[in-house]
Amino acid sequence: MRFKITSLFITSFFILFYGVLSAQKTKDLNGVQIAFLADVHLQDLFGGFSDSDYKGVLNPKTGQYALVRTMSSQLHSTRIFNENYFAFLAALEDIAKRKIKYVALPGDYTDDGQPIHVRGLAKILEQYTQKYGIEFFITTGNHDPVGPFAQESGKEDFLGKDGKSQPIYSKDGMYKPNLNIEQPLVITADIAKMGYLGITDQLKNFGFHPNKKSKFWATPFSNYSSENYSFEKALESSKLSNRVYEVAPGYEVPDVSYVVEPIDGLWLMAIDGNVYIPKKTESDPKDSKSYSEASTGYNNVLSNKKHLIEWVSAISAQAKKQGKTLVAFSHFPMIDFNDDASAEIKELLGPNKWQLNRVPVEEVAQVFADAGLKIHFGGHMHINDTGVRTSAKGNTLVNIQTPSLAAYIPAYKLLTFKKNNVLDIQTITIDDVPRYDELFDLYKMEYQFLESQHNNDIWNIDILKTKNYHDFTDFHLKELVRLRFLKDDWPTTFKDFILNVSAEDLLVLSNMNSDKDFDFILKNKKQLEKEWKEAETKSEQILAKNKLQKRDFNWTGNDLLIDFYRFRSADELAFGDVAEKRVTSYKVLSELFLDSKDNASKPLQKQMKLFFTIFNKFMHEIPADHFTVDLKNGAVKSLK
């Protein structure tokens, strides 16, 4: 029998049960560590289909078959599809060497929640549990599950024999291959997208269901507390039929959030932030296609999943009273992840660019801070960032964005508990990855086939000359800028200007005193020779003041854009890939453009001011590499 309980009753139950308790002293967790690995996006390169003899493509380097996506597809995507498999193993090895016993995965741990990849993930996690005693705690992402219920699916961009693409689908008739450039269709149910039922069943041993070792485990729908807890009650509560809510009238979907106490004094809260809102009022409530995707995150929690807020508030209150330290994680960010530059990004690029719909509104942070959360680890955006918000009531929430292992810069977050409610947060980069180049011979085969087809949009084969995984992800970002971002992100006039202006000219332009816009000035230097000379003199003075020389401005507009994306993705970690003098030159230009006045008749100058305003925020915001968080007041302090 399905057990349902209203969120009002849940909150009332917790408050009634604990209302007479007085707050206990917080348990000492000094030295306890938790690793957070977000957006692993695992594709099981060496997994086997249960209903097909297809093994993948034969790798001449190893003599093994591998299930590989094309290099072309991953260089047009914001994530790597193949090499991240090896990066995940490298990260787990690093965690094992550090003797870390608790690992949280804030969603998107597989490609798209397909059976073959979920099985592969479960196998890897089980191996590290058995060998090293590591406990894994998982929550959902918008890629797992893609929808609340199972659905047919597939992809046409696997790499096949002779360098051609290999389409693989879960059902016949979904795709018709072009046999000139693609191999014949492979059909397997193992490439379908699982819903909540399949994923939570396959991964039940990694947090979705209770473990006998845990001291406490509960969901938003549990009718017990830590005081009258039993494993049998938790097991009953973990059934998916007991974990559903009405997202809209007539539409019930699961919510697999849970809180667990793996060690005395630590409550780890895994929030299922997926919100699947029906597209129409008259559609099949059991069909995933009836629902919109969940990538928006917490903005939709405010409107369609309010019981989560009440549950978080109740659990936070009880954690405080019982002296437990509550650490929350979920897939989606709770605070603006653009270093508070989202308003400028919207003005420069437009409202539908850079996934601005994923930026949480300010109410999200306010609501969850007032609900009692002090620290939250998120993922989703494949970026490294720290955000802090204090509500009108004086409650502070720190949101830590965990980088992806499948993008630049590959890393995970390591939380270490210190004395006096202080947390040490370190960003562990995964730079050297054994076997990261194992598939390169297959990519050469793909490249040769694309050349034979006289393809004009071929990826840069120099990526196969990279010497480590860090450089590979950096090259991936550069190609992503060239093949996708330049076309998709930027206004045409701005893009044409920035790609053709020299750094020296940009410095001079920033010092120009003219009523003409930048494009006119560059085309009419002779006409404006006096003003240009004056600006050059100012520029030389600024160079001397900042201990720079002209050769420090030998970079191109394309270099500037690539570094812009580096800092957007990696925050202060990007300083390791951008020369110190170049960083200084960017900061000088930022100051000059920020001091300039807006003029409606000079749109390019206004766009450059917006650009450097954003860039400046990317380089100067809250610490995001190695820092402490004081849970008593939310203070963030750099340790670099």
Q: pLDDT, tens digit, for every residue of 130-167?
A: 999 999 999 999 999 999 999 999 999 999 999 999 99
CA distance 481 to 517: 26
Q: What are the tens digits of pLDDT across the range 27-65?
A: 889 999 999 999 999 999 999 999 999 999 999 999 999
> Strands of 258-263's sheet, edge to edge?
216-218, 258-263, 266-271, 325-330, 375-378, 396-401, 385-390
Distances (CA, A) of 342 to 353, 354, 445, 568: 10, 9, 42, 12
Which token pair is 480? 């992503």
Mean pLDDT throughout 603-607?
A: 92
Kindly report the pTM of this predicted structure. 0.94
* Per-residue model confidence (pLDDT) at position 280: 81
pLDDT above 60: residue 4: no
CA–CA gap between residue 319 and residue 315 (Å, rounded):
6
pLDDT at residue 8 above 50? no
**Which pair of structure tokens corresponds to residue 175?**
């795709």
Give the residue from 475, 476, 499 showing the smallest Cα distance to 487.
Answer: 499
CA 116 to chain centre: 23
Task: State the CB neighbour count (10 A cutoff) for residue 2.
Answer: 10
Q: Report how far residue 394's alpha carbon sits from residue 93's, in angstroms, rounded to the nearest whole number.
A: 41
Phi, psi of 594 (to 5 degrees): -65, -25
- State what percent of residues in the chain have pLDDT above 70: 96
| Local structure of 336: helix, strand or coil | coil
For the chain, the C-alpha Rg in angstroms (whole number) is 26
pLDDT tens-digit map of 440-486: 999 999 999 999 998 888 999 999 999 999 999 999 999 999 999 99
Average pLDDT over residues 193-202: 97
Phi and psi based region of residue 447 (left: phi greater than 0; alpha: psi -120 to 50; beta: remaining): alpha
State the amino acid at position 482 in one-letter form.
R
Confidence of residue 636 (pLDDT cuts 50, 70, 90): very high
| Residue of 101, 91, 103, 89 whose CA lies nearest to 132 | 101
Q: What are phi and psi of 157, to 5 degrees?
A: -110, 25
d(CA 257, CA 331): 11
b (16+ CB within 10 A) / e for 57-90: bebeeeeeebbbbbbbbbbebbbbbbbbbbbbbb
What is the average pLDDT across 20-31? 72
Q: Are strands 411-417 and 422-429 parallel, antiparallel or unpaired?
A: antiparallel
Q: Is the pLDDT score of 627 beyond 80?
A: yes
Strands ordered across the beta sheet of 33-36: 135-139, 102-106, 33-36, 411-417, 422-429, 626-630, 635-638
How much is the pLDDT for 17?
Answer: 43
Any idea which residue has 């977050």 for tokens? 413
The encoded tokens of residue 289 equal: 């296609």
The 10s digit of each residue's pLDDT in 286-312 is 999 999 999 999 999 999 999 999 999
DSSP 446-495: HHHHHHHTT-SS---GGGGG--SHHHHHHHHHHHHIIIIIHHHHS-HHHH
Q: How far apart are CA 254 and CA 592, in angstroms?
A: 52
Which residues 6+ apart lie within 8 Å of 302 measured at CB? 309, 361, 363, 364, 367
Are the C-beta atoms of 102 and 34 separated by less than 8 Å? yes
Asked if residue 594 has pLDDT above 90, the reply is: no
Helix (H) or strand (E) holding 303: helix 298-304
Amino acid at 427: T
**pLDDT over 80 (residue 559):** yes
**Percent of the chain beyond pLDDT 90?**
90
Helix (H, G, I), strand (E, B) or coil at 554: coil
What is the Cα–Cα distance from 206 to 271, expressed in whole angstroms? Answer: 14
Cis peptide before 145 (omega within 30 of 0): yes
* Confidence grade of residue 12 (pLDDT, cut at 50, 70, 90): very low
Taking each continuous run of H as one helix and of E as one strand, the counts in the chain are 20, 21
Q: Is residue 16 over pLDDT 80?
A: no
More confident residue, 602 or 156: 156
What is the tens place of the pLDDT at every residue in 123-137?
Answer: 999 999 999 999 999
Between 169 and 513, the higher pLDDT residue: 169
The span from the CA of 71 to the CA of 48, in Å, is 21
The secondary structure of residue 355, as a DSSP letter, is T
Give pLDDT tens digits for 74-112: 999 999 999 999 999 999 999 999 999 999 999 999 999
Strand partners, 34: 102, 415
| Nearest residue to 394 via CA among 414, 413, 418, 369 | 369
- Sign of the CA dihedral running 22, 24, 25, 26: negative
Cα–Cα distance measured from residue 41 to residue 418, given in angstroms and rounded to the nearest whole number: 31
| pLDDT tens profile 314-367 | 999 999 999 999 999 999 999 999 999 999 999 999 988 888 989 999 999 999
Query: CA-CA distance, 99 to 96, in Å (whole number)?
Result: 5
Q: Retrieve residue 112's tokens.
A: 């798209």
Q: Mean pLDDT across the stretch 385-394? A: 97
- Examine residue 409 and say whether the peptide bond preceding it is cis (omega within 30 degrees of 0): yes
Between 535 and 620, the higher pLDDT residue = 535
Read off the pLDDT band of 396 (50, 70, 90): very high
Sign of the Cα pseudo-torsion (610, 616, 619, 622, in order): negative
